[in-house]
Structure 1
Amino acid sequence: MITLPSPGRRFALVTETYPPQINGVANTLGQLCRGLLARQHQLQLIRPAMGDEQPGSNRQDNLHERRVRGLPIPGYSNLQWGLPAGRALARLWRKERPDAVYLATEGPLGWSALRTARRMGIPVISGFHTNFQQYSDHFHLGLLHEPAMRYLRWFHNQTLTTLVASNTQQRELSRLGLHNLGLLGRGVDCERFHPTHRDCELRAEWGAGKDDLVLLHVGRLSPEKNPDLLVAAWEQLKASSGSPQLHLVIVGDGPAQDDLRKRLPDAIFTGPLTGAPLARAYASADIFVFPSLTETFGNVVTEAMASGLAVCAFDTAAAHQHIQDRYSGSLAPPAHDRVFIENLRWLTADQEGRRSIRLHARHRACQLDWSSVVARFERYLVQAAGRQPALAQAVPSK
């Protein structure tokens, strides 16, 4: 049976981060927005004003951007909390009522959008893009863990569906008491991230010869990303390596950057990269080192795989979903640092194994295109639009 495309709808997407900001949530939201616009839907993109921007509206074809006021997130000067905007949203939605609302973030802006949509009877779905419940340990906020989890459970269980990035996250959130979970997944652009972008001149700038190995790490440099293991793994590799020569390149920035520069004086820090420079950095390396345990997905894992790198990661999120151990990458049980380091040592030592893994990694990544993810996202929104949620009797004030 042929499924005809649904007629264009109006959807509202509420998020506290969006391109050109550099993070997995912004990247995902950018892909989803572009995909929905290509399917002839009308979009209201509601987000905090960034940098020198002022709150206000901007319309371009089927995209209506509504920028609201925000406050910087401590430790992340380039990110903001969106301030509550219930009155502005009510005015907008009375004039241009969306068929469904998608909440990408759970901060004050997302809370006010949830409250407003429920009062107006507009169907709402949400996405769980960041593992806030895991961050409390890294930022010494243990006393706030339970209150934060109660809020997250309340927030997401008020929506018709909560979309998640991976099946491991789906199981974890179900265990924590979130209901009506749906698997969305993530894609990767296998034309942008491609082994042919390998650049010998860039490798030479890194000091890497033809037969040297470049270990690459890409991501936010922050305590919740487990940078201590990156340091420990590199130190142990240097202490035990013979040949080939090893080099470490770190792409990104964040609150742990200064500390990492002191602890890894021989590493190359590029700062944040996007577009062609990022694709060139991936393809010019050999092994991708990813010690994080707090990912909802980890787009950088599939970007590295698409670029033909051998990934060393923990068996969770994107790595769990798309890597077969010792076939298309190497996986360590979560929190087993010794196994992680042993896997990395094996990848540096076994040239034939590494070559095979890189080929299989690229093959697997090429099966993950964004168009299927966008189509799945569209189906969730259309299904929500066909349902009329019960109006909230009482939505707690913040």
Structure 2
Amino acid sequence: MRVALFTDTFLPDVNGVAKTLGRWTRFLESKGAECKVFAPTSMTESDHDPFRVERFYSIPFLLYPECRLAIPNPLHIRKSLHAFEPTIIHCATPFNLGLFGLYYARKHGTPFVASYHTHFDQYLSHYKIPWVEPTLWKYMQWFHQSCRKVYVPSVSTRQHLEAKGLRNLEIWSRGVDAERFHPDVNRQQVLASYGVDASKFIMLYVGRLAPEKSVEVAIETFEALPEEIRSNAHLIIAGDGPSAASLREWYGEKADMTFPGFVQGKALAELYAAADLFIFPSATETFGNVVLESMAAGTAVIGAAAGGVNDTIEHEVTGLLCPPGDVSAFVGAVRRLYGSYETRRSIAKSGRAYALRQSWEQIFNKLYTSYEEVCDIGKVSSIHSDSARMIR
């Protein structure tokens, strides 16, 4: 199997999509498959795998500046694909680079699949351009009509896309590295490294700091807590993004809030485990990797009852769900978990048990089987096409 993957983000970029696709290509190679990745230039300095990835000059994407839009070199892509001779093309982006993958697949009859990672349509209202949505969906329907499979990360995402007219949808879920994300850390040492008092009740948000993530709901929830809780609590907002500067300007001087910026790797895993509670109010997630990571770290989660978060959290069992944007409901959920250690412990224990069952190996094996089915269908289609030409 020779896989050509077109994407707008790839390692060493640090985001959920880039990490997932990086894991997937490594898994494919472990199975003996060959991979060729076409991606924009990375804004991360250390590109640790420059030979397998074809890079192209890029510009920031309006709705997601950390994600780049490539300005492809058609001749370069054509030559590279002809030399590689892919047996399957996977587009993780419907935009610039994805169009080249689609064109090649159609021209050469190569099996074509796509994966859907981001609800850009739900971002539009946050960026004051909701009028773009009808045009966006017409384009999405056109782009995906040739796909033998469209891989989506959650049930809610599949339902959302089905309602928009997309077909051939299949769930490609997400896993978690339970060896990295676990509850066993030195809480006092971890929190001391951020200048936070470990005797406090620690609430944590991790994610992109941007309007569509509803970070302000987490902050407003914290500020609306009764004084007897607020005086004994501390909020950590970990992440970066377009809202970071304004959030630090408004709240950065508060003694009971900490903005450590972007945290990753071992430090992130330890921060999850050191917190008493993880709060994630985003209603625009296709999956919500951070929720699963927090569960694996043994930290109770409160999330928005929408999108992929709603699929990951089983209300009252592996976490608590609140209506999106409902600060009073989030406050009530925090008060409940603050007031009952047993409830918090039970939810955290169930959440970790759930996370331990979300194995990357199992998830990738299922996707690999789906790839094989698509390639087999492609072989049959090619044989029939050749036979028809011979008869004519």
Taking structure 1 as the reference length, what is the TM-score of the superposition? 0.89
Residues 1:234 and 2:222 are matched in the alignment: yes
| Residue in structure 1 matching 2:244, options 257, 267, 284 | 257
Tell me which residue corresponds to 1:327: 317
Tell me which residue corresponds to 1:300: 290
| Compared CA separation, residues 244 and 348, structure 1 to 2 (3 A) | farther
Shift of 1:27: 1.7
Is the 2:63–2:123 Cα contact (8 Å) retained in structure 1?
no
Q: For residues 228-247 of structure 1, what are the alpha-carbon distances to aligned partners after superposition, in whole Å with 9 as ceiling and x for unaligned?
A: 2122111112x443477111
* Stretches of structure 1 lacking an aligned partner (at least 5 in a row): 1-8, 392-398
| Residue in structure 2 matching 1:27, options 19, 25, 36 | 19
| Residue in structure 1 matching 2:174, options 170, 183, 186 | 186
In the TM superposition, what are the counterparts of 1:136-215 in structure 2 within 5 Å?
136-215=124-203
| Residue in structure 2 matching 1:100, options 75, 88, 107 | 88
Distance 1:327 1:52 in 2: 39
Paired residues, number: 377
Shift of 1:201: 1.3
Shift of 1:38: 1.6
Is the 2:149–2:170 Cα contact (8 Å) retained in structure 1?
yes
Shift of 1:337: 4.0
Distance 1:170 1:336 in 2: 25
Shift of 1:204: 2.6
Distance 1:212 1:198 in 2: 15
| Residue in structure 2 matching 1:51, options 33, 43, 47 | 43
Distance 2:164 2:245 in 1: 35
* Stretches of structure 2 lacking an aligned partner (at least 5 in a row): 386-392
In the TM superposition, what are the counterparts of 1:79-94 in structure 2 within 5 Å?
79-94=67-82
Q: For residues 207-231 of structure 1, what are the alpha-carbon distances to aligned partners after superposition, in whole Å with 9 as ceiling and x for unaligned?
A: 5445421111110000011122122
Taking structure 2 as the reference length, what is the TM-score of the superposition? 0.90
| Compared CA separation, residues 329 and 67, structure 1 to 2 (3 A) | same
Shift of 1:198: 4.1
Aligned amino acid, residue 170 of structure 1: R
Shift of 1:19: 2.1
Shift of 1:300: 0.3
Shift of 1:106: 1.6
Tell me which residue corresponds to 2:61: 73
Distance 1:387 1:178 in 2: 20
Tell me which residue corresponds to 1:378: 368
Distance 1:269 1:354 in 2: 25
Is the 1:313–1:332 Cα contact (8 Å) retained in structure 2?
yes
Q: Percent identity?
A: 32
Tell me which residue corresponds to 1:6: none
**CA RMSD after TM alignment:** 2.3
Tell me which residue corresponds to 2:4: 12
Distance 2:76 2:105 in 1: 12
Is the 1:290–1:312 Cα contact (8 Å) retained in structure 2?
yes
Higher deviation after alignment, 91-100 or 328-337? 328-337
Is the 1:89–1:116 Cα contact (8 Å) retained in structure 2?
no
Shift of 1:141: 0.8
Is the 1:302–1:318 Cα contact (8 Å) retained in structure 2?
no
| Residue in structure 2 matching 1:349, options 326, 339, 346 | 339
Distance 2:331 2:118 in 1: 26
Higher deviation after alignment, 163-172 or 309-318? 309-318
Shift of 1:202: 2.1
Is the 1:85–1:112 Cα contact (8 Å) retained in structure 2?
no
Distance 1:83 1:184 in 2: 28
Q: For residues 362-382 of structure 1, what are the alpha-carbon distances to aligned partners after superposition, in whole Å with 9 as ceiling and x for unaligned?
A: 111100011111112212221
Higher deviation after alignment, 284-293 or 155-164? 155-164
Tell me which residue corresponds to 2:33: 41
Shift of 1:24: 1.4
